[in-house]
């Protein structure tokens, strides 16, 4: 269902002022801005580069959900991963098969990133950047003529067609005309077509860099124009403990712990992570800016056992410690078995201020080389964290 135009206009202009549209339209990239607070999570802005790439007019796109660009060969699992990232309010990038208005499929690198309000850390919008996946042509037989036909402006070739596969795609008026001649008078033999269908379509590092640069440019504009209204946004969620940032002395004490763990704030909605150890970042593959402010559920995935998640939730609600073995996912979506211990951390007055979660990769046998058992090592971390938090709340330095 399309959202009322009034809500769409207000979504952008009340936070950024009307001038932001002109500034965004000066950017050459293909991107959209969507509003998760409006029913249907509609597109509230589409760049000129996006409209040109997909072949739609602005009126055909604004107010619609991004699923309109999917088609019969779009990988359902990839779509679910995108939905999961949006639900967990985190950034992600993925190769995705989408469709233009004329029905032609093409592969693209899709990078989505939440926009956070600095005032309350709430997600106000999502920015989605689309970069066509290009590759160098292969020269063989008729493939030579098709390769010469399908070169893009930067010497690459647009991937398209079947799910998780590549097909050369026409990308200009002249090549389109030549394509009609080929389809009328020539045909690919079956073997050549199968070779193309089975070719992988992964984004290059150059294309990933281009998507990241586009995200940074978009946020530069959004931040600048949000400052004019006083409703400042950020690419990173601001994380606070109560009304202040996590104390520097507590950060220092926690930094001495070499094991993988996170600290979540029990006093804030959705219990966001306010500290993540270096070992945790190494284990999961995420950057610190991608972790802070998130709820720990972002490590879960499609095959994570719901009953285990319920067990953890129940222990947190009753302020009890628990130990589970749960299937989690790294940033690259590689699964691993997490031997996880969760424990409440109370301040000097006895109130639960934080929860600490200690992770051990149970898929690896490295922990067998330690003299202490995994559970004893986890309890050691819990003890160190409790001392640091209690000392802070009592005004005692642990440096």
248-393: CATH number: 3.30.450.20
Give, for 273, the enclosing helix (H) or strand (E). Answer: strand 273-276
Domain ranges of the chain: 5-133+203-234, 135-197, 248-393
E-state strands within 75-153: 92-99, 105-117, 123-132, 134-135
230 is written with which tokens?
A: 């006083």
Q: pTM of the full predicted structure?
A: 0.56
Q: What is the DSSP string of 168-215?
A: B---SHHHHHHHHHHHHH----HHHHHHHHT------HHHHHHHHHHH
Q: How far is CA 389 from the centre of its chain?
A: 32
pLDDT average, residue stretch 2-30: 82
Residue 90: its pLDDT value, please? 85
Contact indicator for 12, 45 with CB cutoff of 8 Å: yes
pLDDT average, residue stretch 278-302: 90
Residue 88: its pLDDT value, please? 80
Q: What are phi and psi of 96, to 5 degrees?
A: -145, 140
Question: pLDDT digits over 150-172, tens only?
Answer: 444 444 555 654 333 443 333 33
Q: How confident is the model at residue 365 (pLDDT cuts 50, 70, 90)?
A: low
Q: The sheet that has 261-265: what strands, in order across it? A: 273-276, 261-265, 352-361, 335-346, 322-329
Architecture of domain 5-133+203-234: 2-Layer Sandwich (3.30)
Same fold: 5-133+203-234 with 248-393? yes
55 is written with which tokens?
A: 């072949």
pLDDT average, residue stretch 300-310: 93
Question: pLDDT digits over 50-69, tens only?
Answer: 999 999 999 999 999 999 99
396 is written with which tokens?
A: 């005692």
Give, for 368, the enclosing helix (H) or strand (E). Answer: none
Residue with the larger pLDDT of the pair 219 and 147: 219
Taking the CA atoms of residue 155, residue 159, residue 160 and residue 163 in that order, the dihedral angle to the nearest 10 degrees is 180
Quick one: which of 117, 50, 120, 112 has its CA closest to 87? Answer: 112
């Amino acid at each position: 269902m399309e959202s009322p135009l009034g809500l769409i206009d207000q979504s952008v202009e009340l936070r950024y002022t009307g001038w932001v549209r002109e500034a965004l339209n000066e950017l050459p990239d293909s991107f959209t801005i969507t509003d998760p607070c409006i029913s249907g999570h509609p597109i509230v802005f589409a760049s000129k580069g996006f409209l040109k790439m997909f072949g739609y007019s602005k009126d055909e796109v604004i107010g619609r959900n991004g699923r309109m660009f999917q088609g019969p060969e779009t990988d359902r699992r990839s779509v679910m991963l995108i939905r999961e990232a949006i639900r967990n309010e985190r950034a992600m990038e993925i190769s995705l098969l989408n469709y233009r208005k004329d029905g032609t499929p093409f592969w693209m690198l899709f990078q989505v990133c939440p926009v956070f309000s600095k005032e309350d850390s709430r997600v106000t919008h999502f920015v989605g950047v689309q970069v066509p996946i290009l590759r160098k042509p292969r020269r063989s037989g008729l493939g030579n003529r098709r390769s010469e036909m399908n070169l893009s402006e930067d010497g690459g070739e647009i991937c398209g067609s079947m799910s998780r596969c590549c097909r050369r795609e026409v990308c200009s008026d002249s090549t389109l005309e030549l394509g009609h001649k080929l389809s009328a008078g020539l045909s690919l033999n079956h073997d050549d077509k199968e070779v193309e269908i089975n070719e992988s379509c992964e984004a290059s590092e150059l294309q990933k860099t281009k998507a990241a640069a586009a995200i940074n440019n978009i946020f530069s504009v959004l931040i600048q124009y949000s400052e004019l209204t006083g409703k400042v946004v950020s690419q990173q969620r601001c994380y606070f403990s109560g009304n202040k940032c996590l104390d520097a002395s507590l950060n220092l004490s926690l930094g001495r712990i070499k094991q993988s763990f996170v600290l979540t704030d029990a006093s804030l909605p959705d219990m966001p992570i306010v500290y993540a150890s270096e070992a945790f970042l190494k284990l999961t593959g995420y950057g610190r800016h991608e972790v802070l402010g998130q709820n720990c559920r972002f490590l879960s995935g499609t095959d994570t056992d719901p009953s285990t998640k319920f067990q953890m939730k129940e222990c947190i609600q009753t302020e009890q410690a628990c130990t589970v073995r749960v299937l989690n996912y790294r940033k690259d979506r590689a699964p691993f078995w997490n031997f996880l211990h969760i424990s409440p951390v109370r301040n000097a007055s006895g109130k639960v201020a934080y929860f600490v979660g200690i992770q051990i990769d149970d898929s690896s046998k490295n922990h067998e080389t330690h003299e202490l058992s995994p559970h004893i090592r986890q309890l050691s971390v819990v003890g160190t964290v409790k001392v640091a938090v209690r000392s802070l709340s009592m005004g005692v330095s642990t440096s």
